[in-house]
Amino acid sequence: VQLVESGGGLVQTGGSLRLSCEVSGFIFDAYAIGWFRQAPGKEREGISVISSSTGSSPYADSVKGRFTISSNHAKDTVYLQMNRLKPDDTGVYYCAAEYSDLLLLDPTGFGLWGQGTQVTVSS
């Protein structure tokens, strides 16, 4: 079982990035897959979760209107399109999976995690 994030990097305020989470070793359609982030000194925060059976969750207030979660079942990949980035978006972004169709943003509800990808937004 593996989740591999990519697409992070350094971007200026107002810029965009698209993160990818490629999964392997489990049935993609049977899992809820979410994006989370952790800024230095802060708790891990749920951004959005997507599932084949129930669609996508509401977004965290901090990213609403700027971030979009999507999935490509043919590639077993979940994406996070991030637009109008702000310095407060800086942190390590993780994808995580759980055998569930619940769309919860609580990181404690997810047992499978990727290694994370760093996103840094400069002011």
pLDDT band at 58 (very low <50, low <70, confident <90, very high): confident
The residues that bridge with 38 in the sheet, in sequence order, are 92
Give the residue among 114, 107, 62, 117 at the shortest CA–CA distance from 87: 62
pLDDT for residue 53: 83
pLDDT mean over 65-89:
96
pLDDT for residue 99: 93
Q: Given strand 2-6, what is the order of strands in its sheet?
A: 2-6, 17-24, 77-82, 67-72
The C-alpha atoms of residue 57 and residue 49 are separated, in whole angstroms, by: 5
